[in-house]
Amino acid sequence: MAPSESVGTTAETGLPRGTPAPGCVLDRDLANELWRDCGAAEWGLTHDEFDQILLEAGTAQNFGRNVSAAQAAATGKQQAEFFRELRIADLVLARACAGGNERAWKRFLAVYRQPLTRAAIAIAGNETLGRDLADQLYAELYGLNLREGQRRCPLLSYRGRGSLMGWLRTTLAQRHVDHYRRTRREEPIEEIDVPAPDPPPQMPARELSLLERAIAQAVSSCEAEERYLLAAYYLDEQTLLQIARVLGVHEATVSRKLRRAKKEIRKQILKHLERSGLSRRAAEETMGADSRDVDVDLKNLLQTSQSEAFQEQAAT
């Protein structure tokens, strides 16, 4: 399948004009096939508008290619592979809405208005808060917020990976969590119960310090999935079913992985203790120390990421 025609320059469509790479062309047959599949003609999108959206979306993500290959034009096969992984119908609708297309907005409201409100209520756990949350997101989606004098629509950040409804739900959840975290810090502390002083530890301080160090090393050496399971289960107190739905696995699988993670951590702790000079028996006795005597902040340990992927991305 060879690119045949460039659709990079179209008439005024009201859509945000992207900046396609020079010489970027869209395969006509692929565009026609995607046009038929997405059903955009049902709500009034023209073929030219559709092509423009595809071209801008593909250019923005370099058709899924590496940065080093950005200079070369994407072949028809690369374009096909890229677009077939995307939710084209949702992507086109989101981009058309972001561009201010009235027909697209009518379609968006007809399809997503009520589900979005229900999702907001479910996330907030309260109908009033949920409706406020949904209205606030609508205001943002409609582009009422201005940044540097220009209308800024969050829908532009949707790139077609996953469903548009899922993206809307996740966006709602982000706003709700951010709002909750922000307002939680502002809540006054009415009473502060001074905890009773801890009794003196029964285990020598040396063993305890060895134990704390071994725990930190064992937890930090956990794999990403184990760390997520431990954090979600013990810190966030999510149920096995909730974790299973996020990971897309069965509930029993989560339980099994959790059990295996705990076993591995215990094994690693014993190994670190023995490596520190304790005998096997002494290490096991140290493992039986009262948890209140161990000064370990598991939350901090688990929240310390060994990967800098998103930090690097943020820096870039």
Partner 1 sequence: MSATSQHGFHPDAESLNAFAEQALRDRERAEVLEHLGVCARCRQVVALARGAADASTVRTAARPRKIAAARPWWNGWQVAWVPAAALAATAALAVYVHMRNVERSAEMAKLEPQAVAPSARTPGNASHEDHAESVPPASVAPAPPAPAAKQEHSRAAKQPAEEESQFVTADAPQEPGTQYSGADNQIEVMRKAQPLSSAEAQQAPSRPGSATGGPAYSQPAAAAWETEQKQAEEQRQEQADASRVRSTTLKPAPAAVRRGNQLAPPAGASTDTVSAAPPAFMPRLLPDQPAGSAGISSERPGSHPIKPIHLPSGLAVVSSTSTGAIVVAVDKAGTLFLSEDRGGTWERVKTQWTGHAVAVRQLFATNGAMQSAPAAHDGTAPGASGNVSPAPPSSVILELFNDKNQAWVSTDGRIWTSK
Q: Is 249 left (phi over 0), alpha (psi -120 to 50) or beta?
A: beta
- Minimum distance between the CB of residue 181 and partner 1, rounded to whole angstroms? 7
Q: Cβ(173)–Cβ(120) under 8 Å?
A: no
Binding region for partner 1 (CB under 8 A) out of 2-10, 100-108, 193-201, 223-231: 223-231
Q: Which stretch binds partner 1 (CB under 8 A): 8-16, 71-79, 210-218, 224-232?
A: 224-232
- Please enumerate in sequence order all residues whose Cβ is within 8 A of that of 145, keeping only pairs 6 or more positions apart, or say none: 139, 151, 152
Residue 240 makes contact with partner 1 by CB under 8 A: no
Is residue 53 a contact residue for partner 1 (CB under 8 A)? no
Q: Whose structure tokens read 């490596």?
A: 275
Name the residue nearer to partner 1 (CB basis): 22 or 248.
248
Q: Does 71 bind partner 1 (CB under 8 A)?
A: no
By CB under 8 A, is residue 179 in contact with partner 1? no
Give percent helix, percent strand, percent coil of the chain, each to the nearest 5: 65, 0, 35
Give the H/E segment covering residue 118. Answer: helix 102-124
Chain residues 74-113 in contact with partner 1, contact rule CB under 8 A: 85
> What number of chain residues touch partner 1 (CB under 8 A)?
54
Q: Quote the tokens at residue 184.
A: 């939680």
Among 163, 206, 267, 279, binds partner 1 (CB under 8 A): 163
Instruction: Give yes or no for residue 189 binding partner 1 (CB under 8 A).
Output: no
Q: By C-beta, is 235 or 252 nearer to partner 1?
A: 235
**Complete DSSP assignment for 161-217:** SS-HHHHHHHHHHHHHHHHHHHHHTTS-----PPPPPPPPPSS-HHHHHHHHHHHHH
Judged by CB under 8 A, the residue of 106, 177, 267, 277 near partner 1 is 177
* Dist CA 139 CA 127 (whole Å): 18
SS3 label, residue 150: strand
Contact flag: residue 260 with partner 1 (CB under 8 A): no
Contact between 215 and 296 under an 8 Å Cβ cutoff? The reply is yes
CA torsion sign for 101, 107, 111, 116 is positive
- Interaction of residue 47 with partner 1, rule CB under 8 A: no
Element (H, E) at 284: helix 280-287
Minimum distance between the CB of residue 90 and partner 1, rounded to whole angstroms? 11
Residue 202 vs 316, nearer CB to partner 1:
316
Residue 251 CB neighbour total at 10 angstroms: 14
Only one of the segments 100-108, 210-218, 233-241, 267-275 lies at the binding site for partner 1 (rule: CB under 8 A); that segment is 233-241
Contact call for residues 302 and 235 (beta carbons, < 8 A): yes
311 is a site residue for partner 1 (CB under 8 A): yes
Q: Which of 122, 139, 144, 252 binds partner 1 (CB under 8 A)?
A: 122
Q: Quick one: which segment of 175-183, 195-203, 209-217, 278-286 binds partner 1 (CB under 8 A)? A: 175-183
126: contact with partner 1 by CB under 8 A:
no
The site for partner 1 (CB under 8 A) is made up of 61, 85, 115, 118-120, 122-123, 157-159, 161-163, 165-167, 169-174, 176-178, 181, 222, 224-228, 230-232, 235-236, 238, 242, 245-246, 248, 302-307, 309-311, 313-314
